[in-house]
Amino acid sequence: MSEQQYNWSRKSLDELVEYYIDHIHPEFLADSTHIDQPYPTAKWIREHGYSGIRYTLREHHGRTFTEFIHEDIGEDALEIDNGGPVGEMTQRRFGIEHEPTEAAVDAYFTRREDRELLAESTLASRRSRFRTWIETYRHHHDTDALLAHADSTEKKAIERRRARDALDDIAETLGSDQSRLTFVADVRPVYSWLTDEGYLAFNPLDGVESEYGWERPDADNQSLQAPDVQQLLAAAETPAETLLVTALPGWGLRPSEVAQLHVSQFALDGDDPHIAFEERKNGPGTVAIHYGVNTVSDRIDQLAEADDWQGHLFPSPTDSRTHVHSDTITNRFKRLAERADVSVDGRVATPRTARRFWYSTYSSAMVDIHAEMDEIADEQGAQSGTVVWEQYLSEADRRRRRRQAMRSKLTDAFGTRS
């Protein structure tokens, strides 16, 4: 029976269980390229024409595909005999001896696999590097209980030293600074998610690169300047173009992130307006909005006039149910830059040069903050400004200071607009 003939959305949970056991799972078991997996990945489901079951489970039954396998079908029904039942295999796929840590790490990757939040190649490299991290950490410290060692802020100093010890060992095996930076960039998001979800009290890898002096390969790192941003804003003729300028140099987003922006991601009320992401490549799960609250509101008001608007801030002109491609964002920005006569090193400005403006601004803001912390440390007899920042300020205080510093720095480009 083809997917077109099977009306997924009208099926009960029991009917979906029956269909999976009778049709999908036998086909999956017959696929010799996946003999090392207990049940289909999201990619396999999509490629074999069964995407409807994942959508229906999520939208009509409130569960992920993995939850469906474990909770609705059950291990015994699938009779898998290549290393134990489904629950046991997934429970130990990272080989972590500390069960709570294994379960939490598995939850991170399962969520991204089920919802296709990362490309398969990105997931594969992140899984591999995190296994290396676990093995090195366990070899160095005779334990892999990551959760137990970072479950309270009182353990922060000790656990950060543990993390650096493990990273020292790994760095020696990697051939370049770029490969070391890439390794940290793949491991840290797992820690960040565990922290955001409440498994950990802190991320022991935050800012760790600054302690090693690793350098990225030479590259053209020129960026927009504040007057360039002013020219772009002046040339913007529509709420969409103003939002484009705000999102790239003002929020530091990638073109793909801008293209996919949805109204549901924005928290605009209160003292901490921000954008929430399910997953960001090498970045935090939320992005503070220092400027642009009114810009977003104007764009939403404009789009809400259409009866078929689905919530995307850059909807596809041909299909209101989805959003534009990242290339469209890039091309729109470059056309705006040409109209505004904004160039970098003699070439038309691009989203990359806009994003670098945000990073340059953030770096400058953090230099000011650390200088302030050093002054406080001198006055109070603390060991260093870093100690003051990490151990004497709450996360709320740190976030507030970062917000104040960034807003001050961005004023030259965005003025007093909000």
Q: What is the pTM of this model?
A: 0.50
- 84 pLDDT band, cuts 50/70/90, is very low
Instruction: Answer yes or no: is pLDDT of 35 > 90.
Output: no
Torsion of CA 137, 140, 144, 150, to 10 degrees: -70
DSSP designation for 347 = E
| Antiparallel, parallel or unpaired: β 266-267 and 274-276 | antiparallel
CATH superfamily, region 220-418: Intergrase catalytic core (1.10.443.10)
| Antiparallel, parallel or unpaired: β 286-288 and 274-276 | antiparallel
Residue 36 pLDDT: 54
- 174 pLDDT band, cuts 50/70/90, is confident
- If you average pLDDT over residues 45-59, what whole number do you get? 81
Identify the CA nearest to 17 among candidates 44, 51, 57.
57
Kindly report, residue by residue over 375-394, the tens digit of the pLDDT.
787 777 766 677 777 777 88
Residue 115 pLDDT: 67
- 81 pLDDT band, cuts 50/70/90, is very low
| Both structure tokens of 348 | 């038309």
For CATH 1.10.443.10, the residue range(s) in the chain are 220-418
SS3 state at 315: strand
- If you average pLDDT over residues 28-42, what whole number do you get? 70
Under 8 Å CB-to-CB from 72, ≥6 apart: which residues? Answer: 13, 16, 17, 63
* Inter-helix orientation angle 351-380/326-340, to 10°: 90
Q: Bigger pLDDT: 219 or 297?
A: 297
> CA-to-CA distance for 178 and 23, rounded, in angstroms?
46
- 82 pLDDT band, cuts 50/70/90, is very low
> CA-to-CA distance for 329 and 380, rounded, in angstroms?
49
- 117 pLDDT band, cuts 50/70/90, is low
Quick check: 52 and 8 in contact, CB under 8 A?
yes
